[in-house]
Structure 1
Amino acid sequence: MGRGDLTNREWSLLEPHLPPLGGRGGRWSDHRMVVNGILFRVRTGVPWRDLPERHGSWKTVYERHRRWSADGTWDRILQAVQAD
């Protein structure tokens, strides 16, 4: 786990609100790794292509962030976390 990555406790609060793995296409990258990549980019401001390899493919991280922004996943997560 890198500095700034989600702790196990933080992940346990966030995970139930994420879409199930799978769906379209083949195997999906682990949500936790991708979310940590998104948080790294938000925290540091680096371009998507400069994400560290430990977060997986920058394209995967970007696409998941874009998809979840468009379908309202991030809004639902924010509401759920604020309600807790």
Structure 2
Amino acid sequence: MLAERTIIACIAPKKNRKSKLPYDWYLYKKWHLIENMFAKLKDWRRVAIRYDRCAHTFMPAIHIAASFIFYLKE
């Protein structure tokens, strides 16, 4: 069904797969960075279990966590 729509997969196939499917390496790299960021955000308990129910208080918590993660990365 994806081939009919000319959609290329962005997740890399397993290394031991016999027939290698083509994928967009650059798009996979970007996807992987986003997935890793969500995984790091979930390490923050306040963000993971969503203490703040309102969007106007939850979003700043995500911003603080993301900026702290970025700061620790450097």
TM-score (norm 2): 0.33
The structure with the greater share of residues assigned to helix is 1
TM-score (norm 1): 0.30
